[in-house]
Chain A
Amino acid sequence: MSSSKDLVRSELLAIRYRRGDAEAMGELVLIWQNPLYYYVRRLVPDDEEALDVVQDVWVLVIRRFRQLRNPAAFPAWLFKIARSVAYGRVRRSQPQEMVTANDLASQEEGEEDSDPLAQFTAERVHHGLTRVSVAHRDCLTLHFIEGFSLAEVSQIVGIPVGTVKSRLHYAKKALRCVLEEESS
């Protein structure tokens, strides 16, 4: 997620938009454009598709804005819509890309996560993300790159917090394996 200042500003803009200030939506676009694009780009296979998804997301945001009860929750709500749109597109175009719950459950439990990924550079983490599964990439991006809390990731992805923790554990392990493999 963006800085605390951006979060305050985005809640303020959401309230202004709710109260009828149409220009506030343009400013919200400006604040969230890059984080949203980065997240969507991690879920869809190419740039053009990501651009289409991002545009569709903002259209849906405007149409469904009345459903947003708490303006402070705007970022999580925005990313939830983005995830839904992106997954819908990928499901239609490349069904084999989707990772099912069974795929995740079938992974074996490994040793405790003790080696942090901080040793890797930003570029390597960025490229390593492309090599893990979509579900892992999804959670890793939301939590570590976009900065959402576990509870927010749980809301966005639509799974319990415990499952988010478990998925993040496996995702970190998978990412670390990929990065170490590249190192060696």
Chain B
Amino acid sequence: MNERERREDILQLDVAPENLTDRIRQQVADMLEKPLRLWERLLVALVAVSTLAGSVVICSILLLKTDLAAVQRFSLLAALLLAGLGAVWCFSTLRRGVLRPATDDVLLEGVVWAFFVVVVCWEMFLHRGEGAMTDVIAAIALVGFPFTWGRVRAAELRTRETILRIALYSMDRGQDAAPDPAPRESGGIATPQPRPAPF
């Protein structure tokens, strides 16, 4: 009997009850798919109202107060984009009917929101009005960075997923001798991981 069979034998001596897996899977499904609770509804409503009000105010300033719009163009642009992000979040949440904090990619949105808050504060306190083109380029670069970073991370995950699917397919085809996929850090195909010594 080899080490692995021995391990399997020991694990089989105290297996989980048959209904436990179903109970947990149901629990997991309930957690992931639970409908919006009261505070979540209030949060969505708050964001929606803020977004709507902010958009109306910004559009009014842009249309009616052109002198103010010329001075505070960055603040207005930032606030408008922020409102757009809020609207997208509200729309996607309401369309799904659930919040999925574990899977929603709120990190990227949070970074972008934080950036716009910084830009608004910066404009408000420093009153920058000169060098408009430089500012625009800088703003585009700064806004683009978190999005680009997020896309790079997503592409990395997709690539890793493809590698793992290929490895799994190879194993299913009976090529168990094929090495395990590499750790994320090493990039390519990995060497087999050393196993612990037997008893």
Contacts and interface: CB of A to CB of B under 8 A. Distances in A.
Given A8-B181, A58-B27, A15 B161 contact: yes
Nearest to A58: B24
A4 B32 contact: no
A116 B6 CA distance: 14
A150 interface: yes
Interface of B: 4, 6-7, 9-11, 13-17, 20-21, 23-25, 27-29, 31-33, 100-103, 105, 107, 154, 157-158, 160-161, 164-165, 167-168, 171, 176, 180-181, 183-184, 192-196, 198-199
A12 B164 contact: yes
Contacts of B21: 29-30, 33
Chain B binding site: helix, strand, loop or mixed by DSSP?
A: helix
A122 B6 contact: yes
A15 B160 contact: yes
Contacts, number: 142
A55 B27 contact: yes
Q: How large is the interface on A (under 10, 10 to 19, 20 to 34, 35 or more residues)?
A: 35 or more
A62 B164 contact: no
A118 interface: yes
A144 B32 contact: no
A100 to B, nearest CB: 26
B31 A59 contact: yes
Given A15-B160, A29-B21, A72-B184, A116 B102 contact: no
A46 to B, nearest CB: 12
A34 B16 contact: yes
A126 B103 contact: no
Contacts of B7: 144-147
A71 B194 CA distance: 19
